[in-house]
Structure 1
Amino acid sequence: MSVKDYIRTIPDFPAPGIMFRDVTTLFGDPRGFRMAVDQLLLPWAGVRIDKVAGLEARGFILGGAVAHQLSAGFVPMRKKGKLPGRTVEQAYKLEYGTAVLEAHDDAIRPGEKVLLVDDLLATGGTAEAGLKLIERLGGVAVGCAFVIDLPELGGRRLLETAGHQVHALCAFEGH
């Protein structure tokens, strides 16, 4: 089996015409979850990684497990207003409007090597904001790892054009 085999598709969620790719079935299977974590970090085997940054919310689950495997620290990147300490924020575009991603201002030290992790790469806006936060905090983004890529939405192209290495375990057509 591949990682893709563990992902459930739910039609018409959250809106008609959307095929929602549900990774909770992947997380719930011990073999599937282990496979995903191992494959997410594979391109960076032998590379020093000091921190893993996970994007809210499923990126926390994956990022924490990847950080554990790498013996690295974990940095949660959250929606505005969810972190208790002093933060640095980065706005990004949504389909309708904007949103803000935050990280604690002391979460990454200058020069630390950071891997960004999330479950899904769609338009790339959230990931791009996370990478900008890493750099604004003085970190060096070594790359991005995702379980799912939705190539039609252009996120991989956006991140790679900006010079970032992108690794995705599987791809699905459509939105």
Structure 2
Amino acid sequence: MTTETFDLKAHIRSIPGWPEPHVIFRDICSLLEDRIVFRKVIDLFVHRYMSYEFDAIVGIDARGFIIGAPLAYELNQGFIPVRKKGKLPGETISESYTLEYGEAEVEIQTGWLKPGHKVLLIDDLVATGGTMLAAANLLKKLGVEIVEIGAIIDLPDIGGSKKIIDAGYKVHCFCEFEGE
């Protein structure tokens, strides 16, 4: 990555009124469409985490895979997916979390991570923090330490980062959309 300034927010497409009229959707697809922009996004993560000590990168279904897998490749680490319930073969554990209208569950396979392993937990965006905390609870059940939770975007007005920090985790997001 060069020393030139990279304005990440300028490359994130905002879509008003989707999926509901009062929402402004922050679309990371605009970060992926241009190979140079995508490379710069991955480089942001690489430069942040290249000196951290950890055993694997855990990415959350589905957009956490888009960032987590190339990051794992660049940092020469394994990649472990946290998926929606029923999508992983073999032995898994699951965790429920609350959505705006109902509940959902995520799961992780139990054979890869061992007690004492250290991981980075990666997703695209922190909004309510529900999915991140559910994934963090799965890792806690496995005895795994989360070195840091990383995402591209934080929506601090929704309060997810605060919930994650209050739960005892470190969070780093590369940009935020506050009050927008």
TM-score band by shorter chain is: over 0.9
Kept in 2, the 8 Å contact 1:36–1:169? The answer is no
1:126-137 equivalences in 2 (<5 Å)? 126-137=131-142
**Cα root mean square deviation, aligned:** 1.4
Q: Does residue 36 of the first structure (1) align with residue 37 of the second (2)?
A: no
Percent identity for Structure 1 against Structure 2: 44
Cα distance in 2 for residues equivalent to 1:68 and 1:83: 21
Instruction: Spell out, residue by residue over 1:9-45, the C-alpha distance to the aligned partner (whole angstroms, 9 max, x if none).
Output: 1111111121111101101122221221222243433
**Of residues 18, 27, 48 in structure 2, which corresponds to 1:22?**
27
Cα distance in 1 for residues equivalent to 2:54 and 2:41: 18
Cα distance in 2 for residues equivalent to 1:107 and 1:12: 41
Query: 1:142 maps to what in 2?
Result: 147
Cα distance in 2 for residues equivalent to 1:14 and 1:101: 22
- Find runs of 4+ consecutive structure 1 residues off by over 6 angstroms: none
Aligned pair count reads 175
Kept in 2, the 8 Å contact 1:19–1:174? The answer is no
**TM-superposed deviation, 1:121:** 0.2
Instruction: Spell out, residue by residue over 1:70-91, the C-alpha distance to the aligned partner (whole angstroms, 9 max, x if none).
Output: 1111011011111111111011
**TM-superposed deviation, 1:109:** 1.6
**TM-superposed deviation, 1:60:** 0.6
Structure 2, gaps ≥5 residues long: 1-5
Question: 2:41 is aligned with what amino acid?
Answer: A
Instruction: Spell out, residue by residue over 1:120-153, the C-alpha distance to the aligned partner (whole angstroms, 9 max, x if none).
Output: 1001000001111111112111011000000001
Question: 1:10 is aligned with what amino acid?
Answer: I
TM-score (norm 1): 0.94
1:16-165 equivalences in 2 (<5 Å)? 16-165=21-170
Cα distance in 1 for residues equivalent to 2:46 and 2:139: 18
1:162-173 equivalences in 2 (<5 Å)? 162-173=167-178
